[in-house]
Amino acid sequence: TQLLEQSPQFLSIQEGENLTVYCNSSSVFSSLQWYRQEPGEGPVLLVTVVTGGEVKKLKRLTFQFGDARKDSSLHITAAQPGDTGLYLCAGSTRNTGKLIFGQGTTLQVKP
């Protein structure tokens, strides 16, 4: 059974702090995606990484895919209250609609 473990599960920080969320698995994924979900809404895709060692930046967010394609991290620099939400990593082994999701990291950024 493929599993994705995210850590930490909960994170409460002050505005301006940096943080990193981790997503780990014993399985190899062909691609890994990060989503953010706000209350009452569905997850919204932030980024997709497909190459081992790949690093992608989206403004203050930096995403990294592990060399072995088993793990990923999301780093947020100078967090803002608007970053508050549930962050989900999701892995895929085939080009289908079946994604394996991590449990999610609930981030609260206090002003």
Residues in contact with another protein by CB under 8 A are 30-31, 33, 35, 40-45, 48, 50, 88, 90, 92, 95-104
Report the alpha-carbon distance of residue 61 to residue 103 in Å, rounded.
20
Minimum CB separation from another protein for residue 23, in Å? 12
Which residue, 2 or 20, has its beta carbon nearer to another protein? 2
Minimum CB separation from another protein for residue 35, in Å? 8
Which residue, 28 or 78, has its beta carbon nearer to another protein? 28
What does the CA dihedral 19, 86, 97, 33 come to, rounded to 10 degrees?
Answer: -10
Q: Quick check: 52 and 29 in contact, CB under 8 A? A: no
Which residue, 18 or 86, has its beta carbon nearer to another protein? 86
